[in-house]
Structure 1
Amino acid sequence: MRNYTLAPLLLLVVLVVVEAAVVPAWRNSKPHHLTRSHREVQEWCDPVLGCLQLTEDWYMPGRPINDLPKPRDDINTKFMIHTRTNPAPLEDVYISAENVIIDTTTFDPLKPIKFICHGFIDTGNLKWLKEMATAFLELGDYNVIRVDWGDGSLPMYSQAAANIRVVGLEIAHLANHFISNYGVDPANIHLLGHSLGSHASGYAGEKIQGLGRISGLDPAGPYFTETPEFIRIDNTDAVFVDNIHTDADHILLLGYGTEQAMGNVDFYPNSGHDQPGCNPVSIGIEMIEDLPEGIRDLGACSHGRAYKLFTDSLKEPCPYLAHECIDYYSFEVGRCASCGEDNSKCAYMGIHADQYTHKTREEVRMYFDTDKESPYCYYHYQVIVDTAHPKEAEDWVQGHLHVTLFGDNGETITNLKLTEEHERFDHGQPKYFMFTSHVDLSRVIRMEAHWEYDDTLTDIGSYCWNLLCNRALYLRSIQISPMDYYPEETRLDHTRAQCHVGSEYVKIEDDQTQDLHYDGNWRFQELCNQRRKRVPSGAFRDKTVRVLSGFCSAEV
């Protein structure tokens, strides 16, 4: 069996050579017969699959070399089906668009169909495809079909990028055979593709009327970024198209994916760029445990994270809820906790992405964070630290705020530092944070807050001598909102603002801890009214604050 563990490194070499050397030469000295006005239309035809054309519209600076696909037999696309009723679930049972072959398999036209397609210099026998197939069958009763176009993925990248047009036709041919001859509902067909396989799935979607869903797993960027929709995966290729971007850097920065949104919803875990755990130390440890997988990650760790995240979503109860935000920075500082009144600002990454309530939207960017290894899923929490500004307080203080949180489900997060670096708190102004944890707290019912003032040696203005200034932090409340509770009404029901018992605010001296929790003596409505007047316009979406079950909470 073929094993291309060094494929990512070869891909990098090939693409750097093409983009760094061939593109300038093509721009400056292209032959007369290749000029845009003199290119002849080229055609690839097959008696079963039909014809493909290569026109001048396929040529552009990002696609300087365009080839016709190789012959169908050279690409040699194969399909292997797995079902729960297979005697050996991961045995290679081949299937094709012929009734005599289909009827010898355990294919069931009444069950949903999942196609899984690999990318460049890969095969359908890779470990991750089998793991995803297994996870699908453990989750539900599906027909899972692995697509193997390994023979067509071997040439130069430009040739492989051409060959996936035929792979798309092959997938469509089999899917349409299911639809025409077995009564399969196209809405129950779901295509998943990694890298070039994402675009192959897009080509297939163009030929399958009413296709239910395509999931792009880090769609390949080189030759596809900023190209017309007919060249790449896009939101018209299925009723719903979702993409996961994990390696969005440019190829010259060692990225194989794309930053460009190409679906109805595009997910950007950890910004969509370098993924946690994709560093030489972590990969070195992985190589000790699993040499082939470690070598593979050495060249394309972030690129492969997309299919690992999707597979994880099949196995984990953690929700993988992502939030729409103007950019990743705004998400990281806690500015995008709300799913919106119509719940259009949140979607589940992975298997449940098709539960999104506004599927007709286009190129919606959603963000979330993950851990460096499986289970990758985190729970996200928005924190709003609401400070007071009595006369004795400094205008601002800086330092570290640690919290210990107690949930109503008995779970606890201890000694959590809200930021790695010291933070400036302007008294009288709210401060937003976001943190992640594997712990689901449900509703926070009690909190311990510890304050440490921090002088910066390089900033003389930050020095605060005890006899000359006040190092204390003055708190009105700390609001915790669990961002992974959906829909929006549920998130609001779990949002709690923790205050000090019996007073409007609490003074926390340097290196001291205060207890914040619910008490029947709190004047919640008065506190909420004060907050509503104090928060600047636009800080809260509807500028209202509600009392929920005796707790002061704000919709943000």
Structure 2
Amino acid sequence: MAPQRTPVLLGVLAVFTLLVVGVEETPRGAECSDLNNITWQEYRQQRVPLQVRYLLLTRRNMDCAHMFSHQSLTDTQQPAYFNVSRPTKVIVHGYRAIGSKPSWVKQLARALLMAEDVNVVVVDWVYGASFAYNLVVENYKEVAVQISVLINQLNKHGCKLESFHFIGVSLGAHVAGFVGTLFQGKIGRITGLDPAGPMFKGADTYDRLDSSDAQFVDAVHTDSDYFGISIPVGHVDFFLNGGKDQTGCARSRFPSMLVYFPVYGYVLCDHMRALHVYMSALNGSCALTGIPCSSYEDFLQGRCVDCDAFRGACPTIGLLPNSGVRVSPVPKEQKLFLLTTSSPPFCLRHFLLQLEVSPLDKSAELEVTLTTENLGTERRLRLHTDTVLYRAVLSHPHPLCEIASIQLKNTGARFYRQAEIHVKSVCLSEFPTLRREEPLCVNNINVRRGAAWSHDFVQVCV
């Protein structure tokens, strides 16, 4: 069921200006501020008045958040850490099932500040984001209205709307989207990190994050079958490992209960992976590049290996303007796929495997392994009697020029009866690539059932 549509006009912002909660200024010498926690007694009551507070972090107070409002720009009793000439990142957390403050906020703020000299404003709406999920969803538009009051005042102080970049996690992505709606899409950018799915998948675009909410909207999907939304909601949508099950995360056995009775730990692993991948991408140690494709199945079958839809410049997760997209206008709701590892920096190289075999008498299974000196990655291919040409995507953390060997193993001894597989050719090429490296090819291979064949490559990375 979609959230009820309630018309809200920009004109109401002035009415709410004096009602913004949590705008107290931090006196000189006061302790650093932090996000709220819901007490056990408050949690049992299941109803706490909505409070929206703002914390400010900059490179001048990276480890000491200050309570913030538009009034701090003119307060002469303390340093005005907020700089209207710099871009502003606005972090919006999502649903807090047990009323705890999000522990990742400071880590994300620090990563943003290390990457760029910006203002980071953290929206604290833990009071209102806790308790039953359906009740929390009733609050998200009011939270957006209160945030819009602050943005409206900052705009009057000289901050341009296009200088704001909202980063919303889960339900926070839809809060950010409604802020964008209130400003008629003039906000510079919104990034949704696994935008919430329950009660939003079938919602009107007015009620959820979509590409009209900002000049550029990007989203990272990692749990689209449970907590996250399964449809594209931005200009570019990155679906990691298909957007559902992430490497290193155990699958829940009780999905129907997740929305109303969330269990932390492994159940949230998929959902929170988007946040951790995004924070890792901010340090720029490697590129997390998405490949445009209509479906994850087509991507895995090697049917999408270029970024011609973006004139060759593949979108990347992170802070590049428009995610690195150079075409204008930016395409909308473009699905992008990429494979990742289970730990930082999460990056993998993508390889296209092209395999030609002689006609088979019976079905077979072939295990393909790529190895470097100390690491191997594998994928299994089903071979059929009516097909001789195969394409598949493999991955490895290292580039093609560092692949030391390729191994083929006929693993069909138990379930299949094809005794020997004759491989006419197997070729490996990296994508996307600007250097247009020649593929690595080996011809005329016989792979007996239960046996492994391998070939060593002699290469040097230039």
Range of TM-score over shorter length: 0.7 to 0.9
Q: Deviations over 1:503-546 (max 9, x none)?
A: xx434453464647699xxxxxxxxxxxxxxxxxxxxxxxxxxx
The answer to whether structure 1 residue 356 and structure 2 residue 347 are counterparts is no
CA distance in 2, matches of 1:474, 1:40: 62
CA distance in 2, matches of 1:116, 1:212: 14
Assess if the C-alpha contact under 8 Å between 2:13 and 2:149 holds in 1.
no
TM superposition shift of 1:476 = 3.4
Assess if the C-alpha contact under 8 Å between 1:413 and 1:439 holds in 2.
no
Structure with greater helix percent: 1
The match for 1:166 among 118, 128, 142 is: 142
SS of the equivalent of 1:351 reads: coil
The match for 1:240 among 207, 216, 221 is: 216
Assess if the C-alpha contact under 8 Å between 2:366 and 2:412 holds in 1.
no
Please name the residue that 1:498 is paired with.
Answer: 440
Please name the residue that 1:7 is paired with.
Answer: none
Change (3 A) 1:264 1:433: same
Assess if the C-alpha contact under 8 Å between 1:220 and 1:257 holds in 2.
yes
Normalising by structure 2, what TM-score? 0.77
SS of the equivalent of 2:111 reads: helix
Please name the residue that 1:468 is paired with.
Answer: none
CA distance in 2, matches of 1:170, 1:41: 15
Assess if the C-alpha contact under 8 Å between 1:115 and 1:190 holds in 2.
yes
Q: Deviations over 1:42-99 (max 9, x none)?
A: 99x786328xxxxxxxxxxxxxxxxxxxxxx93221111111112xx13230111223
Please name the residue that 1:29 is paired with.
Answer: none
Q: Which amino acid is the alignment partner of residue 80 of structure 1? A: L
Q: Deviations over 1:263-286 (max 9, x none)?
A: 1112211221232222279xxxxx
Pairs within 5 Å for 1:212-231: 212-231=188-207
TM superposition shift of 1:463 = 4.2
Change (3 A) 1:455 1:163: closer
Q: Deviations over 1:392-413 (max 9, x none)?
A: x8677734354556xxxxx757
Change (3 A) 1:186 1:424: same
The match for 1:381 among 346, 351, 371 is: 351
SS of the equivalent of 2:290 reads: strand
CA distance in 2, matches of 1:110, 1:101: 18
Normalising by structure 1, what TM-score? 0.65
TM superposition shift of 1:40 = 12
Q: Which structure 1 segments of 5+ residues have no match?
A: 1-18, 24-35, 51-72, 250-254, 282-293, 406-410, 465-470, 520-548, 550-556
CA distance in 1, matches of 2:6, 2:64: 46
Change (3 A) 1:427 1:386: farther
Q: Deviations over 1:215-246 (max 9, x none)?
A: 11121222222111111111111001112222
TM superposition shift of 1:199 = 1.0
Structure 1 vs Structure 2 CA RMSD:
3.7
TM superposition shift of 1:354 = 2.8
Please name the residue that 2:68 is paired with.
Answer: 95
Please name the residue that 1:424 is paired with.
Answer: 383
SS of the equivalent of 1:312 reads: helix
Assess if the C-alpha contact under 8 Å between 1:339 and 1:346 holds in 2.
yes
CA distance in 1, matches of 2:116, 2:14: 37
Please name the residue that 1:78 is paired with.
Answer: 53
- The structure with the larger Rg is 1
Please name the residue that 2:410 is paired with.
Answer: 453
Please name the residue that 1:271 is paired with.
Answer: 242
Please name the residue that 1:190 is paired with.
Answer: 165
Pairs within 5 Å for 1:508-523: 508-510=446-448, 511=451, 513=453, 515=455
Assess if the C-alpha contact under 8 Å between 2:292 and 2:334 holds in 1.
yes
SS of the equivalent of 2:247 reads: coil
Assess if the C-alpha contact under 8 Å between 1:83 and 1:106 holds in 2.
yes
Change (3 A) 1:414 1:83: closer
Pairs within 5 Å for 1:541-556: none
Pairs within 5 Å for 1:127-526: 127-181=103-157, 183-208=158-183, 210-249=186-225, 255-279=226-250, 296-340=264-308, 342-343=310-311, 346-352=314-320, 354-358=323-327, 360-387=330-357, 389=358, 398-402=364-368, 404=370, 416-419=377-380, 423-424=382-383, 429-441=388-400, 443=401, 448-459=405-416, 462-464=417-419, 471-483=420-432, 485=433, 490=434, 493-499=435-441, 505-510=443-448, 511=451, 513=453, 515=455
TM superposition shift of 1:141 = 0.8
SS of the equivalent of 2:265 reads: helix
SS of the equivalent of 1:496 reads: coil
Assess if the C-alpha contact under 8 Å between 1:402 and 1:450 holds in 2.
yes
Q: Deviations over 1:309-361 (max 9, x none)?
A: 21111124221101121211221232211112643784212333532234532
Query: Taking every aligned residue pair, what percent have the same amino acid on both sides?
Result: 23
CA distance in 2, matches of 1:201, 1:94: 20
CA distance in 2, matches of 1:139, 1:319: 14
Change (3 A) 1:413 1:363: farther
Q: Which amino acid is the alignment partner of residue 100 of structure 1? A: T
Q: Which amino acid is the alignment partner of residue 69 of structure 2? A: S
Change (3 A) 1:429 1:496: farther
SS of the equivalent of 1:263 reads: coil
Change (3 A) 1:101 1:303: farther
Q: Which amino acid is the alignment partner of residue 142 of structure 2? A: V
SS of the equivalent of 2:351 reads: strand
Change (3 A) 1:162 1:499: closer
Assess if the C-alpha contact under 8 Å between 1:214 and 1:238 holds in 2.
yes
The answer to whether structure 1 residue 48 and structure 2 residue 15 are counterparts is yes
Change (3 A) 1:160 1:453: closer
Assess if the C-alpha contact under 8 Å between 2:13 and 2:148 holds in 1.
no
Assess if the C-alpha contact under 8 Å between 1:93 and 1:105 holds in 2.
no
SS of the equivalent of 2:343 reads: coil
Assess if the C-alpha contact under 8 Å between 2:211 and 2:217 holds in 1.
yes
Assess if the C-alpha contact under 8 Å between 1:344 and 1:357 holds in 2.
no
Change (3 A) 1:474 1:339: same
SS of the equivalent of 1:90 reads: coil
Change (3 A) 1:368 1:341: closer
Relative contact order (alpha carbons < 8 A, sep ≥ 6): 1 or 2 greater? 2
Q: Which structure 2 segments of 5+ residues have no match?
A: 18-47, 253-261
